[in-house]
Amino acid sequence: MYSASLTLSNYLLSPPNLMKNAEILDVGAGTGFFTTKIAEKLCKHLPTASFYAMDITPAMLKMLSKKTADVLLFLGTAENVGASIRFARKHLEIPEKFDAVYSTLTLHHCVDIENVFQSIHEVLKTNGKAVIVDLCKHSFKEFKKEMGDIHLGFQPKQVKEKASKHFSMVQIEKIPGIRCEVSGRSAELFIAYMTA
Ligand SMILES: C[S@@+](CC[C@H](N)C(=O)[O-])C[C@H]1O[C@@H](n2cnc3c(N)ncnc32)[C@H](O)[C@@H]1O
């Protein structure tokens, strides 16, 4: 069965291989719909990997904390992951840099998406991998009021242009056959694969 979490996990597991003890961060994890699935799938191949999840909303992390004890959670912003980590490191054991960083359905909540790419790049180790899944351009203006969306999705070309300023390799594809559904309205999804 084709799914966004499977597509994302497959990229993280594809060559160049992550180390068995890779450190992997989810930015804007929310209640962990993807976080837990991806951690489960990756653990089968990377048995000593460590998983971390960050979000700007404490209530989201509280819900995620009830789902799993295997992911270390901390507060932070996608636009400044580095500073969020430095602050969290005062109280928690969190790496300064990661082997892989991913983010799902958070980019359209961020005002300046180029800051997000820059900030994810800053916390990746040399040759680290990043993956972003988000909405393709859509016309549902009411999502701004209903869900606090800032962007009505993105043209893949626009994302590639911003990401390419910070990553050595950027590849973007629409995810076939899967759409983000909200009360009968649906938007296509894209996946952006990046290497530091
Ligand atoms: C639509 S939810 C997606 C949650 C999860 N990644 C998923 O795919 O189910 C968007 C999440 O992004 C978080 N968020 C919004 N703006 C953010 C920002 N600037 N930095 C970090 N997280 C942010 C919200 O708190 C929310 O949990």
Query: What is the model's pTM?
Result: 0.96
- Ligand 1 pocket mutation, candidates 62, 109, 123, criterion most atoms within 8 A of CB: 109
With residue 3 as reference, give the H or E element that holds it.
none
Q: Is 53 left (phi over 0), alpha (psi -120 to 50) or beta?
A: beta
Strands 124-135 and 185-195 turn out to be: antiparallel
Tell me the residue type at 88: A
| Residue found under tokens 């500073």 | 83
CA distance 98 to 124: 5
CATH number of the domain to which 46 belongs: 3.40.50.150
Nearest CA to ligand 1 atom 8: 104
pLDDT tens figures, 55-91: 999 999 999 999 999 999 999 999 999 999 999 999 9
Domain count of the fold of the chain: 1
Q: How far is the CA of 58 from the centre of ligand 1 (A)?
A: 11
Q: Which of 112, 103, 98, 108 is nearest to 29 (CA)?
A: 103
Structure tokens at 190: 């894209």
Query: In the chain, what is the greatest distance between 2 CA atoms, to the nearest angstrom?
Result: 44
Question: What is the mean pLDDT of the segment spanning 142-152?
Answer: 94
Residue 169: strand pairing partners: 195
Structure tokens at 13: 């597991």
Report how far apart, in Å, the C-alpha atoms of 58 and of each of 55, 73, 159 are.
Answer: 7, 10, 28
What is the rounded end-to-end Cα distance, in angstroms, of the chain?
30
Q: Are 98 and 52 in contact (CB under 8 A)?
A: yes
Q: Which of 113, 103, 99, 98 is nearest to 151 (CA)?
A: 113
Q: How far is the CA of 152 from the centre of ligand 1 (A)?
A: 15
CA distance 39 to 180: 21
pLDDT tens figures, 175-194: 988 888 888 888 999 999 99
Mean pLDDT of the chain: 95
- What pLDDT is stored for residue 43 in this prediction? 95
Does pLDDT of 2 surpass 80? no
Residues having CB within 6 Å of any atom of ligand 1: 28-30, 33-34, 55-57, 60, 77-79, 104-106, 109-110
Q: Structural domain of residue 162, as residue ranges?
A: 4-195
